[in-house]
């Protein structure tokens, strides 16, 4: 159980709505759909209504700093089944990178690898008190693109499981390229925080509004629980 999961949730019932692609760049094809993650009739490019409003505000702030730049949405809503799929997929990839096969892991090996996975991936819990952040519609993974649609360099790809993913990893570097990565991360963080979001402590790309992590970081009550799938 992660610290933010002890935060109370008072579900507000706000609808899950499609992210308007007129404002943002959406990653296509979607990376998890390409892996055959089980979205069913759901789309990864959905968020709660209030989160979309916040994201539009952040886009407007970005325009004031960098005309023509846009927020690019890598991932947003995940049904819990997709969260489980991606945890399983990531565990398999981590095992293979260490020369191991998931089906042959000892209990101790499996636990060790899952600890690494869960540093960057939330557990696919069905407990209404501990929903995965992306399953609430209150979390979004994003980066920036310039006016030509080129992805801005951030120093590590989204979903990389390494210390390079920590938001301030390049903060103390004297290397010019690393300083630029930090500058871009700071720009992304500044517009998102100004629009009411909070940032995941371990991931430069993950921002949240209204879910348990946001509530834990702002000392408030969460207003988004897991989306009830009909």
Tokens 């096969």 belong to residue: 101
Give 121-142 as a DSSP string. S------TTS--GGGGT-EEEE
Task: Find, among 58, 81, 59, the residue nearest to 68 by Cα.
Answer: 59
Look at phi and psi of residue 49 and say left if phi exceeds 0, alpha if psi is from -120 to 50, else beta: alpha
**CA distance linking residue 15 with residue 228, whole number of Å:** 10
- Measured between alpha carbons, how far is residue 103 from residues 91, 96, 100, 228 in Å? 11, 11, 9, 32
Could you tell me how many residues make up the chain? 230
Query: Looking at 57, 103, 160, 203, which residue is catalytic?
Result: 203
Strand partners, 141: 75, 206
119: annotated active-site residue: no
Q: Which residues are catalytic?
A: 203
């Amino acid at each position: 159980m992660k610290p933010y999961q002890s935060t109370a949730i008072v579900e507000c019932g706000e609808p899950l709505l499609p992210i308007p692609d007129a404002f943002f760049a959406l990653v296509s094809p979607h990376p998890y759909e390409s892996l055959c993650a089980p979205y069913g009739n759901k789309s990864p490019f959905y968020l709660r209504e209030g989160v979309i409003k916040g994201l539009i505000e952040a886009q407007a702030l970005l325009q004031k700093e960098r005309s023509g730049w846009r927020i690019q949405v890598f991932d947003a809503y995940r049904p819990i089944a997709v969260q489980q799929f991606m945890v399983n997929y990531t565990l398999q990839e981590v095992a293979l990178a260490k020369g191991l096969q998931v089906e042959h892991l000892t209990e101790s090996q499996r636990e060790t690898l899952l600890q690494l996975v869960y540093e960057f991936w939330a557990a696919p819990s069905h407990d209404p008190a501990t929903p995965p952040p992306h399953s609430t519609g209150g979390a979004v993974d994003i980066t920036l693109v310039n006016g030509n649609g080129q992805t801005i360099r951030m120093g590590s790809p989204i979903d990389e499981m390494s210390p390079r993913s920590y938001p301030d990893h390049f903060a103390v570097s004297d290397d010019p390229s690393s300083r630029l990565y930090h500058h871009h991360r700071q720009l992304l963080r500044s517009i998102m925080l100004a629009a009411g979001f909070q940032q995941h402590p371990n991931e430069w790309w993950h921002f949240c509004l209204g879910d348990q992590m946001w509530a834990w970081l702002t000392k408030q009550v969460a207003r988004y629980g897991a989306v009830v799938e009909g």
